[in-house]
Structure 1
Amino acid sequence: MTALRPDLAVIAENVATGASVLDVGCGDGTLLAALRDEKHCDTRGMELAPANVGACVARGLSVIQGDADQDTVFYPDKSVDYAILSQTLQTTMRPDLVLDELLRIGEKAFVSFPNFAFWRVRLSLLLRGRMPITRMLPVVWYQTPNIHHVTIQDFRTLLKDRGITIEGNWFLSGDTSCRTAAANFLAEHAIFLLSRAA
């Protein structure tokens, strides 16, 4: 598999060969290209940034410019096997509604996000009293696109409240997997595979 960011590598490993995929907030199309070329998936994407849309088109990918908060409504119900939202949930205006849309469009959904309860984030706030800058949160607070600071526990609660089933979860500290039991404290990044009964 093409060298991918760790959360994208987890998603790519767990997408079925030949599946149909919609990547919402697909960035420059790195994941879509890997799924198309190496797993023979039928891929399409949506991306807000015009420069990233251009990069996707240059790779020969089917990507439109659109906003996760507004434009997913144009996709039909259950039109893809997997809807993907990687490192985008925390940047949306209404993450709960975006999640509902993902599971309306896709039979299953992959969602990944930085965990704001990661121990280094907590320590930075405790000792320095400042919002941290980490590998997963690489910009200062006033430049970040993150408007919702979600933790793994917050996300699990949201899923329970909305009747969403967790089919799989993976937790990363750096590039390494960490224990599920202590993930809210030890994981820098979380990836969930979700579904909802019809």
Structure 2
Amino acid sequence: MSLRSDLAVIAGHVAEGSRVLDVGCGDGALMAALRDDRGCDARGLEIDAGNVASAVARGLSVIQGDADVDLAGYPDRSFDYAILSQTLQTARAPDVVLDHLLRIGRRAFVSFPNFAQWRVRLSLLWGGRMPVTRQLPESWFDTPNIHHVTIDDFREHLKERGVTVEGAWFLSGDRQRSSAAANLLAQHAVFLLRR
């Protein structure tokens, strides 16, 4: 099974044999790839019971929980990597969730849809409506996205908090883009962070 493009970037940069916590792990696709291809000890936290059941059926160690509430119980530096893929924008307190990731993991991967991408801007400018795209398929009233973060917003947030960026990848579909004009052109971003 092939991974979503942001998950493939993450999987390709996690060191073999690492201890990994995947927060908002969905059905466990990334965890399974890390376990099977990289020999990682992968654990997951997922809010949706159906996704938890799917992940457990794959033989993965996943518990049901909410990133906004349950990360506080994890010990400092208990994982080599803490991963938050396409979940930051759904958290009630994304800044607190990010702080927990950087506390729990020696490094943290964060990926999110870029709400400043030109198609999103154009949809708002010309249509005057919130966009519905392949990357953002839900209507405004049905979306789990409650914080509309852009690449530039995230970079500024990291700078203000003194977080070190070890790597950044900007994606349009399955294609990587350079960091030049990423805020305008990239549909998704992946950051590798540490304190």
What is the TM-score of this pair, normalised by structure 2? 0.99
Partner of 1:8: 7
Counterparts of 1:178 and 1:41, CA distance in 2:
28
Q: Which runs of 4+ in 1 moved over 4 A?
A: none
Partner of 2:162: 163
Alignment deviations for residues 116-140 of structure 1 (CA, whole Å, 9 cap, x no partner): 0000000000010000011110111
Q: Name the amino acid aligned to 1:99.
A: L
Partner of 2:51: 52
Partner of 2:106: 107
Asked if residue 79 in structure 1 is aligned to residue 104 in structure 2, the reply is no
Partner of 1:147: 146
Counterparts of 2:130 and 2:173, CA distance in 1:
19
Partner of 1:187: 186
Alignment deviations for residues 74-119 of structure 1 (CA, whole Å, 9 cap, x no partner): 1110000000000000000011000000000000000000000000
Structure 2 portions without partners, runs of 5+: none
Partner of 1:118: 117
Alignment deviations for residues 1-52 of structure 1 (CA, whole Å, 9 cap, x no partner): x510000000000000101100000000000000001100011000000000
Identical counterparts, % of pairs: 69
Counterparts of 2:20 and 2:42, CA distance in 1:
5
Alignment deviations for residues 62-84 of structure 1 (CA, whole Å, 9 cap, x no partner): 00000000001111100000000
Alignment deviations for residues 155-194 of structure 1 (CA, whole Å, 9 cap, x no partner): 0011011110000000001111112011000000000000
Counterparts of 1:182 and 1:10, CA distance in 2:
20
What secondary structure sits across from 2:68 in the alignment? Answer: coil
Structure 1 portions without partners, runs of 5+: none
CA RMSD of aligned residues (A): 0.6
Counterparts of 2:160 and 2:177, CA distance in 1:
26
Counterparts of 1:134 and 1:177, CA distance in 2:
19
Counterparts of 1:155 and 1:136, CA distance in 2:
18
Partner of 2:68: 69
State the aligned residue count: 195
What secondary structure sits across from 1:34 in the alignment? Answer: helix
What secondary structure sits across from 1:70 in the alignment? Answer: helix
